[in-house]
Amino acid sequence: MKERPTGNTDDPTTGIDAADQYEHITIRNEDSMVECTILPCNCSSAELVTHWLTASGDSFVSLQEMQ
């Protein structure tokens, strides 16, 4: 039987926490619209063309608001 890793992990099969896999960039553009882009930490420049997600406006909230 395979033992599951302990600790605070988002993927119990690998034991890797999502916070260690992704980074984010939050910007406020000229018309005061806030955008947050999430992307993998260890992507090649070729992979970054398709390996990202952007949310804008009220599509996301800060961690402090949700706690």
Burial of 16-43, coded b for 16+ CB within 10 Å and e otherwise, reads eeeeeebeeeeeeeeeeeeebebeeeee
User: Is 0.85 topped by the overall pTM?
Assistant: no
Paired tokens of 40: 């993998």
- Residue among 67, 7, 59 nearest 34 (CA): 59
Q: How many CB atoms lie within 10 A of CB 52?
A: 15
What residue segments make up the domains of the chain, in order of their start?
19-59
pLDDT digits (tens, 9 = 90+) for 8-61: 455 666 666 666 788 888 888 787 788 889 999 888 889 989 999 998 887 877
Higher-confidence residue of 3 and 25: namely 25
